[in-house]
Structure 1
């Protein structure tokens, strides 16, 4: 889990000063309990039943707050102010774990559910009651009861479909949740859909400014939303866009709380809506004392994020040149989520592109991280653009993967390599921009040394290393392909150089040749060879690495043809002791 935001929101009896401007979100346009005030007057029995239900809900939240665990005396530093609340960065959240609820709280919740059910027999179609009955059943671990309750809900109701998506999402049934939310959105008018799908504060400030220039519900805005959720999808290996359905589930949670007592003991407001959309419902709360200068203290409420929460939402709508758009170790300061398939690790890998029949074929090899449990794997290689996956290949196991760009599509700009356990938690991924490459020279594929030198891509792929790492002094093999026309009269000049990152090729070449000196550690070889095959011609050379310090180095291949001129390909390698 990446370090960063402790995601403890806290509020004192006196509202905390906001360090940043508060972002006010429009209330979701799905029918809410507030709309019931415009309905015809209800019978005295219905009025009494509703009063009893609301009193019981307030009483339960009072009991819940009274039983919050006691936390330490603290003096937190506000990292970001949101209305009455502060996000506190790095406050030992990695060490926090949820504690079991007190028996009194569990008993009171079951009693509350019974009261809500009694009121629902008098007012069977009330949306506030339906929402509370579903939410508290879910808290009590009675999710199947909640889904059964919703089966009797009005089939045409968008709210009932949204509640079903909410329950399914919380249970980790993401494909079913996505389908339920699509039913809910399909039952809304355009204004209602716009209120629910609007991205709001999950966007960084610059991207949000661009996004909000589009008319709500317009085609350009919808295109931005599709791109955002595609790029923010935790695993392309899992069908659907589970991070988008999580966003919609958080919309449901905010709507449930908008006209109900909250665990914080404060009226729900735009600040709590923003916090919920960005970080979800807390995994737990604590009561603590905030220490001021001198001996004065004040009581505050901490709310904790789920352990293992990670940042999946992208910080922009176009891939960064260095692939940092998907850095899972980045502090999750804007938004975070902890899916049921567990914390996603960075996947050691290598990716290379080759030319076949006028198309690019991309190959990948990976190594399952030691930090994850050993298990039967499902793996996938994905080619994509900013709007969706254009080609993919999935397999069982940890073998190398290959996929070709489909005909009739624009060239892919993104590539993803993913693996996850067939059963139980455990997943890893790598995503990055996919460079166009040189039309005459393939990418470099690193191989394990030893045995006959591969002359074809399938032979090379069978020996591909699962990561771009090597040990100082180790021997490794390098495979590439040349696609230029035959040049029997003159030979190709090939240069293979290795230099510490931070200097350009020509500087490295001068240092390698002895014409320049610098503090860059470098090594290289140069040779001549013929090009006789008009088709793809594979070559392999073994390279013994010199004794180098640990660090990141760039292996650069340059091929100079008398006919076509120079072509260059390179790959970053991490040298380890």
Structure 2
């Protein structure tokens, strides 16, 4: 493919504003009569038909570039260079909004689709024509029409399935897209499949080097790929591995553009492939003047990501046997995406582990963020390791969730708490390490104070707080369970203390109503509890917080048994005014 007709001659690099994400601007869904009447008649032979189609595609991209909106005079600073392109440092695309396309662009796209359809009647199985007919219909908001077209697709079977996945992904039908991409991968040769599933461009340098040492299709490489997509999945609550299907949709987009005129007006290359794989297709473009020293300026092209695109995960390889590790909310992540269910917010929560029948029993409570719309909620609690979810429980509404660790699985190392609006945008999640815990002592579960003290976990869950925060001076309750076998006539020595997180000293004593009334500063409180209670019986104590400064504190529970020694459990709490 040759370069487009309107290549800039002054700027040394085209410029990207921050990261990019794939989106189509709203346009009419039906071709106008004028567009239909301007489509030329079908040419007499395949060569003429293909020339007509390629000329029309180049002409349309020329019209698109000519009608890019004009942006302000800028003096951008290149944060990361990718071939001929720059990711701009400090550019906030969240302040940018797509503008409606110029009517000329809308009209010319419909003309192009008519020309491509005319050529396809002469060359019905051509892969390039099939791909362009699908891509431009999707841009025009004619996704269902594209799916209907693909039902009669006569191109190579893997390409037809890949295009179907591409359209479904862009329509937000992620589980169906994943199925279509699996069909496409299953119809490819081993070499083709390796090229489509290769992760290199979305990994950082160190991780990429180690990943690429593994042979294509080898078990270690497949394990890294499974971990990457599992941990990159924005919501385990949504069926399918939608971040992986997004990556495959971006592969389709790069393949579509590799032999076609591009909106940038330059030859497609490895740099644009990397940008597309990492950040998706732009949500829009702008022309702007760039200022140099003195009064010199030249013209550059900005391409913008869709506001709300997030960097979900960066995979790292651990030092021991190249085991994959997870890292969340990494600001320097190399890839981002704006899913159809909207930006995923942080979910205030608390998680605690207990024991039932030799397995961990994990409970969670959460608070729907005030920043998100009020709605009917779907929620989920997930136990996972680096390779997948091992146990889960889903529900409706904002109530607590509980799930038992699955038998026969490697112990989970990660717990996810998620919620989203059942209809419309709005989602939040938390993913935190799942500690092994102590065999004799449960985690701490924070409860609302008042009423009878819960003696069982089910009673405690009904009063569980939605997160681990409290106000200075507030009274709250702490629930835990002891699993050690009691010794005759023995007692447990219980200590609860509070320390300022990150400090090397005890911050202030807890003042317990009825337990410590002298008001003196202590490291905590201590009492003896009979060890004759049945195993796994719950204990609850209410505590009144003093007027502490705002900040993070460590609440620590220590239980000393004559037969089992000392066991300790702790939780971070945030004190608010």
Cα separation, 2, equivalents of 1:522 and 1:409: 44
Q: Does structure 1 conserve the Cα–Cα contact (< 8 Å) formed by 2:509 and 2:524?
A: no
Q: Offset at 1:561?
A: 1.3
Number of the residue aligned with 1:401: 401
Cα separation, 2, equivalents of 1:310 and 1:265: 28
Stretch of structure 1 that moved more, 118-127 or 527-536: 527-536
Cα separation, 1, equivalents of 2:153 and 2:522: 70
Number of the residue aligned with 1:282: 282
- The alignment of Structure 1 onto Structure 2 pairs a total of residues equal to 530
Cα separation, 2, equivalents of 1:539 and 1:189: 61
Give runs of aligned pairs for residues 123-202 of structure 1, distance below 5 A: 123-154=123-154, 157-202=157-202
Cα separation, 1, equivalents of 2:44 and 2:365: 70
Cα separation, 2, equivalents of 1:482 and 1:333: 42
Is the alpha carbon distance of 1:510 and 1:568 closer, same or farther for their aligned partners in structure 2, counting shifts above 3 Å?
A: farther
Number of the residue aligned with 2:304: 304
Cα separation, 2, equivalents of 1:81 and 1:343: 27
Give runs of aligned pairs for residues 109-508 of structure 1, distance below 5 A: 109-154=109-154, 157-317=157-317, 325-327=327-329, 330-331=330-331, 333-503=333-503, 508=506
> Which string of whole-angstrom CA distances, capped at 9 and with x for unpartnered residues, describes residues 425-457 of structure 1?
111110111000011110000000000001111
3-state SS of the aligned residue for 2:65? Answer: helix
- What stretches of structure 1 of length at least 5 have no aligned partner? 1-9, 19-42, 513-520
Q: Offset at 1:316?
A: 2.1
Q: Offset at 1:318?
A: 6.5
Number of the residue aligned with 1:517: none
Cα separation, 1, equivalents of 2:522 and 2:424: 45
Is the alpha carbon distance of 1:247 and 1:17 closer, same or farther for their aligned partners in structure 2, counting shifts above 3 Å?
A: closer
Number of the residue aligned with 2:34: none
What's the TM-score once normalised by structure 1's chain length? 0.89
Number of the residue aligned with 1:107: 107
> Which string of whole-angstrom CA distances, capped at 9 and with x for unpartnered residues, describes residues 62-101 of structure 1?
1000000000100001000000000012223221000000
Cα separation, 2, equivalents of 1:420 and 1:443: 27
Stretch of structure 1 that moved more, 152-161 or 348-357: 152-161
> Which string of whole-angstrom CA distances, capped at 9 and with x for unpartnered residues, describes residues 377-422 of structure 1?
1111111111111111111111101100111222111110111111
Is the alpha carbon distance of 1:12 and 1:382 closer, same or farther for their aligned partners in structure 2, counting shifts above 3 Å?
A: farther
Number of the residue aligned with 1:67: 67
Cα separation, 2, equivalents of 1:543 and 1:224: 46
Q: Does structure 2 conserve the Cα–Cα contact (< 8 Å) formed by 1:554 and 1:573?
A: yes
Is the alpha carbon distance of 1:209 and 1:11 closer, same or farther for their aligned partners in structure 2, counting shifts above 3 Å?
A: farther
Q: Does structure 2 conserve the Cα–Cα contact (< 8 Å) formed by 1:449 and 1:475?
A: yes
Is the alpha carbon distance of 1:117 and 1:44 closer, same or farther for their aligned partners in structure 2, counting shifts above 3 Å?
A: closer
Cα separation, 2, equivalents of 1:12 and 1:301: 12
Cα separation, 2, equivalents of 1:150 and 1:313: 33
Give runs of aligned pairs for residues 30-49 of structure 1, distance below 5 A: 45-49=45-49
Q: Does structure 1 conserve the Cα–Cα contact (< 8 Å) formed by 2:500 and 2:507?
A: no
Q: Offset at 1:336?
A: 0.6
Q: Does structure 1 conserve the Cα–Cα contact (< 8 Å) formed by 2:315 and 2:326?
A: no
Cα separation, 2, equivalents of 1:522 and 1:194: 62
Number of the residue aligned with 1:76: 76
Stretch of structure 1 that moved more, 389-398 or 495-504: 495-504
Across the aligned residues of Structure 1 and Structure 2, the Cα RMSD in angstroms comes to 2.2
What's the TM-score once normalised by structure 2's chain length? 0.89
Number of the residue aligned with 1:530: 530
Is the alpha carbon distance of 1:523 and 1:449 closer, same or farther for their aligned partners in structure 2, counting shifts above 3 Å?
A: farther
> Which string of whole-angstrom CA distances, capped at 9 and with x for unpartnered residues, describes residues 507-561 of structure 1?
549999xxxxxxxx98621111111134212100001111111111110111111
- What stretches of structure 2 of length at least 5 have no aligned partner? 1-6, 16-42, 320-324, 511-520
3-state SS of the aligned residue for 2:45? Answer: helix
3-state SS of the aligned residue for 1:540? Answer: strand
Cα separation, 2, equivalents of 1:155 and 1:523: 74
Cα separation, 1, equivalents of 2:476 and 2:8: 58
Q: 1:15 aligns with which of 12, 16, 24?
A: 12
Q: Does structure 2 conserve the Cα–Cα contact (< 8 Å) formed by 1:11 and 1:85?
A: no
Cα separation, 1, equivalents of 2:573 and 2:332: 28
Q: Does structure 2 conserve the Cα–Cα contact (< 8 Å) formed by 1:554 and 1:572?
A: yes
Cα separation, 2, equivalents of 1:317 and 1:236: 22
> Which string of whole-angstrom CA distances, capped at 9 and with x for unpartnered residues, describes residues 121-178 of structure 1?
1111110000000000000001111111111113861011100000000000001100
Is the alpha carbon distance of 1:80 and 1:131 closer, same or farther for their aligned partners in structure 2, counting shifts above 3 Å?
A: same
